[in-house]
Structure 1
Amino acid sequence: MDTRLLKHFLALSETLHFGRASEACHISSSALSRSIKQLEDSLGVSLFERDNRTVSLTQQGLKFQVYAREALSQWDMIRNALLEDAQELQGELSMYCSVTASYSFLHDILRRFRSRYPRIEIKLHTGAPEPAVHRVLNGDEDIAIAARPDNLSGALAFKSTGLSPLLFIAPTDDAVIAPQFAGDIEHVNWSDVPMILSEQGLARTRVDRWFSNKALKPNIYAQVAGNEAIVSMVSLGFGVGVVPKIVLENSPLANTVQVLPVTPTLPAFDVGVCVLKKKLKNPLIEAFWAQL
């Protein structure tokens, strides 16, 4: 069965960029354009609105995107159910995680999985941790490594791999910031402390709640995407940040910052693997899930 056109369509629907989509599909932009035209001619509708500068999905394209994802998922399930009888799983899994998770939590997991199922290809996408869960819920990824949300969707299955405390960090030798924490931290005037925080996500929610419980409004110096950037900005003396312990432990700048013994402590991240429950029927995902 030729699923090539569906894969080309999904690549373009997710990137909305012919160059990036054609690169992901390992074809030329003109070949990708021909695939999309072939699909549109077969369906009798336009799937994309495009001009010289932008590409966007039409209403028909949005509907077809749901179908294409489900069709490819069903095809992988039946194909691998048949291959499972021959004890030879093969196919592709897409996965999302932060850069830190890719070489901490994920490394050993993939090493074991790869040795057992060498014909299963892993498409690994890395980025900021905040969108990880939503990428799975939206069907953009099969699997994600993420911190368990306070309210986990009923559509998701989650398997914990470990806890990572959330830490307040400050520069060790900055002439302005460091002296504020030289004495009793209980007497620190947090309203005067410049904070470097995540733009959104679980860490930001918990920090905001911490300040709210103290009846304080944080003095936000910068809002950034990615915990590694927070460690970097703190080490340069721009302010105090909050990051998971695993990020700090794996940072080359760990010796340039200090962990502040703030109270109360923030709830730790429960880091694990999440997947849509309905996708656990897929033999590839079932195999990955079983070996965690």
Structure 2
Amino acid sequence: MDLRTLELFHHLAGSLHFSRTSQSCNISPSALTRVIQRLETDVGKQLFIRGKRCVELTYAGQVLKKYAEDVLGRFERLQGELSEDAALSGQLSLYCSVTAAYSILPQIIPRYRTEHPGVQIYLETGDPAQAFGRLMSRDADAVIAALPAKPGPQISFLNMAVSPLVFIGARHYPDILVTDSQGNPDWGKIPLILADKGLSRERIDLWFLENAVVPRIYSQVTGHEAIIALVNLGFGIGLVPRLVLEKSPLCRDIVALENMPKLPSYEIALCTRDANLSNPRVRALWDIVAGES
């Protein structure tokens, strides 16, 4: 049972998706299947229940996942101790939204590259709702994301920015916003474009629930940039962090709407697993962000 096998198993135990793990770990699905089959033979237990639509961990799989986390964490700490006196090298993987990539990373990455030119930075951008999943499945060493109410017991974070959540509409389609006789939004008539999941969706869903509102949801999309694009085309109003709106190429055609519900702001942070702080490449990034805070 080597480290590569444990890494593949641990990733699959987090993703529960053979195709996703094979793509992320650069291994063919058939080869991944053979690795897992050999591992099951070695431990003498079935590790996954494979259904037509889902994959689940067995009890043995859950036990082995904890073992894999311990071994991989120990190896990361060993690498850190062995490289303390040497110039940093290897790869640092980061995950963040497109907006964070061109609004937050420029504050820290140039200094990181100057101080540690031997480190290759691998950046992946995507839906911020996937950030913590990427982190826990070891797809990323660190992520820049909005903090949930409870980040989790294994997560360390450094606050980097605060961004209010704002409702937005297209400047050229003012009639999209329908109000009642008192000037309040008529949620039953306003087409809404919302994130399909993530923190902004959780907060607006909670507001609707607490205020007994049944909204008219026109579209549910992945990513705040997609919300802005659809709002700009006049399909409805949306909800995005102000930072995303300010950095959007469409910002001149979009307006932040007034007299709308006030939702808790986004707290944007650099996040990593506690165990990753023993990785010198992650620690170097952490120290730079801490110094800027």
| TM value normalised by structure 1 | 0.79
Give the whole-Å Cα distance in 2 for the aligned partners of 1:9 and 1:104: 35
1:105-146 alpha-carbon deviations (Å, 9 max, x no partner): 124433332333344444544332224345546766432211
**The residue matched to 2:164 in structure 1 has which SS?**
strand
Displacement of 1:212: 6.6
**What's the CA shift for 1:239?**
1.3
- Give SS of 2:220's match: strand
Q: Point out where structure 2 has 5 or more consecutive residues left out of the alignment.
A: none
Q: Which residue of 2 aligns with 1:199?
A: 196
* 1:76 has 2:73 as partner: no
Contact 2:14 2:136 in 1 (8 A): no
Q: How much does 1:14 deviate?
A: 4.2
Deviation at residue 273 of structure 1 after TM alignment:
0.9
Q: 1:223 to 1:19 in 2, by over 3 A?
A: closer
> What corresponds to 1:96 in structure 2?
95
Question: How many pairs does the alignment contain?
Answer: 288
CA-atom RMSD in angstroms = 3.5
List aligned pairs for 1:23-34, cutoff 5 A: 23-34=23-34
The amino acid across from 1:37 in the alignment is Q
- Calculate the TM-score normalised by the size of structure 2: 0.79
Alignment of 1:75-154 (within 5 A): 75-84=75-84, 86-133=85-132, 135-136=134-135, 141-153=140-152
AA matched with 2:7: K
Q: Which residue of 1 aligns with 2:167?
A: 168
What's the counterpart of residue 226 of structure 1?
Answer: 223
Once the two structures are TM-superposed, the CA of residue 104 in structure 1 deviates from its matched residue by 2.2
Give the Cα separation in 2 of the matches to 1:24 and 1:152.
24
The Cα offsets for residues 26-77 of structure 1, whole Å up to 9 and x where unpaired, read as 3444443443333233222233345888655433223222322331121011
- Tell me how far apart the structure 1 counterparts of residues 136 and 8 of structure 2 sit (CA, whole Å): 21
Shift of 1:199: 3.2
In the TM superposition, what is the alpha-carbon distance from 1:204 to its structure 2 partner?
Answer: 2.9
Query: Given residue 68 of structure 2, which amino acid in structure 1 is its aligned partner?
Result: A
**Percent identity (aligned):** 40
SS at match of 2:79: helix
Counterpart contact for 2:162–2:268, Cα < 8 Å: yes
Unaligned stretches of 5+ in structure 1? none
Q: Which residue type is aligned with residue 59 of structure 1?
A: Y
SS of 2:272's equivalent?
strand
**C-alpha distance in 2, partners of 1:165/1:87?**
42
Map Cα deviations across residues 238-289 of structure 1 (whole Å, 9 max, x no partner).
2111111221123233233222123564443221112234542333322221
Note if contact 1:145-1:273 (Cα within 8 Å) is conserved in structure 2: yes
Say if 1:94 and 1:70 are closer, same or farther in 2 by CA, change over 3 A. Answer: farther
Does the aligned pair in 2 maintain the 1:170–1:260 contact within 8 Å? yes
Q: Distance in 2 between matches of 1:138 and 1:24?
A: 10
How many Å separate the matches in 2 of 1:20 and 1:148? 25
Does residue 275 in structure 1 map to residue 272 in structure 2?
Answer: yes
Q: Aligned pair in 2 of structure 1 residues 111, 39: CA closer, same or farther (>3 Å)?
A: farther
> CA offset at residue 78 of structure 1?
0.9
1:31-42 alignment, distance < 5 Å = 31-42=31-42
Deviation (angstroms), 1:168: 1.3
Question: Contact between 1:80 and 1:90, CA under 8 Å: does it hold in 2?
Answer: no
Q: Which runs of 4+ in 1 moved over 6 A?
A: 51-54, 212-215
- The offset of 1:175, in angstroms, is 6.8
Alignment match, 1:286:
283
Task: Give the letter aligned to residue 6 of structure 1.
Answer: L
**Cα distance in 2 between the residues matched to 1:64 and 1:283:** 27
